[in-house]
Structure 1
Amino acid sequence: MSLVRSISISFFMIASISPASAQSLPGGFVYLRDIDPSVIQDIRYATANNFVGRPLAGYGAGECVVKREVGERLKAVQAELAAQNLSLKMFDCYRPARASLDMVKWSQNGRETAAERRYNPRIPKTELFRLGYIASRSQHSTGAALDLTLVDLKADNSGKYDPTKSYADCTAPVEVRAPEGSVDMGTGYDCTDAKGHTAAPSITQEQRAWRRRLVAAMARQGFVNYSKEWWHFSLPGAGGAAYDFPIQPRRN
């Protein structure tokens, strides 16, 4: 969902490609796997494991696509973390503009399901745009914004999301909320709650230490965290126009 500010983007440069030319990424975009295959990927909007409960428009594959400079800097972050038995895990990278419009339609459909409330335990989804929790024009569509977390490679990360289970909401203790195979940052991914703010005072010291560790590692490569989302980072100057080409499977 990404707590991103609504930014003014020139949509006359939105690009698209057909499935037949899926490998022809425009505007200096690359598949992150081609830059660093060691980075773990869990692209949630290509699955039903997200706040909408289905794959979003434009997500034809669970692949992280980014601008090349962004990918190279992520590779440098990953190299630093690897020495500490840690890894990045990508939740979202480039986001087709049509996916943001899909989010707008979702927010206006007049329904609030129990599964949706896991991500928005205290805020009606009709309020998410006004409060800055979703943007109709997302910086993700420029290829310069990312949603990610840390994985402790020494820990047991075998827990998998089970769509048949009823999990506690995203602010609950890690033992009862949906598993994400990553360190405990105090909330789940895409948690639209004050507890998801990077400097939230309501988390434990250990959770705060993990957030600071992630922010520091990303900052050393020039990435800036968005204060309302511990998971959201952007690289100033690496963006530009928004794009709408679909994410297609990467050919080996």
Structure 2
Amino acid sequence: MKLNFCLSIGLAIFAFQAKAQQDMPHNFVYLKEFIPTIILDMRYFGSHNFTGRPIQGYEKPVAILTKRAALALRQVENYLNKRGLALKIFDAYRPQRAVDHFKAWSLATKDTIAKRDFYPLLDKKNLFKLGFIASKSGHSRGSTVDLTLIDLTNNRELDMGGPFDFFGDISHHNYSKLTAKQKENRKILRETMAKFGFKAYDKEWWHYTLQDEPYRKTYFDFIVK
């Protein structure tokens, strides 16, 4: 009897934990609802990404962040709007299962359908070793975002000198072989994000994390839906 009781309690705890991994925590928000003017281009919901396929954990093309990160990003958007610019989001919160999908994809070395657009100069088998793919991502903590700038007069992306999610030196902030305009566009994005509390990632011009992020050691796995 005691064994059955303990088993029942164990199953109940497991079910609760599983549900918790599926439900969005109350202090996360949908960016489009929180910042109506923001533009979304959620690459991992579709196939225009380095795997060439939709990614596990993305069931809708929506962007989610912690409320604290969203508040800061709203300040960025308002500041840019007054200067004729706006943000376009490529990715925000990323479920751990999506990160696991990336890792599994990196090990399938013959699957290279998106190589030409995203890693033409690299051998796929080295992507994990070189740090382009990892077992954990700051995105899963909920306060990291991938983005670029657009011109409000025509809704076109500013020229950053390289595409989002390109694996190579051209994506690094210190890449020197850029035009003056490309350097200036990256500088505008970096300085504006820093002004409102976001730190850049040196190897990816599009990647920013809220410095005062609320979950520094928690990696979530609820589905983007």
Q: TM-score range by the shorter chain?
A: 0.7 to 0.9
Distance 1:237 1:81 in 2: 21
Q: What SS is found at the alignment partner of 1:215?
A: helix
Deviation at 1:130, TM superposition (A): 1.5
Higher relative CO (CA 8 A, sep ≥ 6), structure 1 or 2? 1
Instruction: State the match for 1:117 in structure 2.
Output: 116
1:195 is aligned, of 166, 170, 173, to 170
Deviation at 1:91, TM superposition (A): 0.3
Distance 2:66 2:136 in 1: 18
Deviation at 1:28, TM superposition (A): 1.4
Distance 2:190 2:177 in 1: 18
In the alignment, structure 1 residue 247 sits paired with structure 2 residue 224: yes
Q: What SS is found at the alignment partner of 1:73?
A: helix
2:194 is aligned, of 210, 219, 238, to 219
In the alignment, structure 1 residue 228 sits paired with structure 2 residue 203: yes
CA RMSD in angstroms comes to 1.5
Instruction: State the match for 1:206 in structure 2.
Output: 181
Greater helix share, structure number: 2
TM-score w.r.t. length of structure 2: 0.87
Distance 1:49 1:236 in 2: 29
How many residue pairs get aligned? The number is 206
Deviation at 1:112, TM superposition (A): 4.7
Letter paired with 2:220: Y
Equivalent residue runs for 1:1-252 within 5 Å: 15-17=20-22, 25-26=24-25, 28-155=27-154, 157=155, 181-238=156-213, 239-240=215-216, 241-248=218-225
8 Å CA contact 2:21–2:221 kept in 1: the answer is yes
Listed as ranges, the gaps of 5+ residues in structure 1 are 1-12, 18-23, 158-180
Distance 1:126 1:89 in 2: 31
Deviation at 1:125, TM superposition (A): 1.9
Letter paired with 1:39: I
Deviation at 1:106, TM superposition (A): 0.7
TM-score w.r.t. length of structure 1: 0.78
Distance 1:94 1:149 in 2: 16
Deviation at 1:198, TM superposition (A): 1.1
Letter paired with 2:190: V
Listed as ranges, the gaps of 5+ residues in structure 2 are 1-16
Deviation at 1:115, TM superposition (A): 2.6
Distance 2:73 2:95 in 1: 20
Q: What SS is found at the alignment partner of 2:118?
A: coil
8 Å CA contact 2:112–2:124 kept in 1: the answer is no
Distance 1:242 1:16 in 2: 10
Residues 193-230 of structure 1 show CA distances to partners (whole Å, capped at 9, x for unaligned) of 10110121011110000000000000001100000000
Letter paired with 2:41: D
Q: 1:118 to 1:112 in 2, by over 3 A?
A: farther
Q: Which runs of 4+ in 1 moved over 6 A?
A: none
8 Å CA contact 2:52–2:113 kept in 1: the answer is no
Higher alpha-carbon deviation: 62-71 or 233-242: 233-242
Between Structure 1 and Structure 2, whose CA radius of gyration is higher? 2
Q: What SS is found at the alignment partner of 1:46?
A: coil
Q: What SS is found at the alignment partner of 1:212?
A: helix
Distance 1:133 1:115 in 2: 15
Deviation at 1:114, TM superposition (A): 4.9
Deviation at 1:25, TM superposition (A): 2.0
Q: What SS is found at the alignment partner of 2:78?
A: helix
Greater strand share, structure number: 2
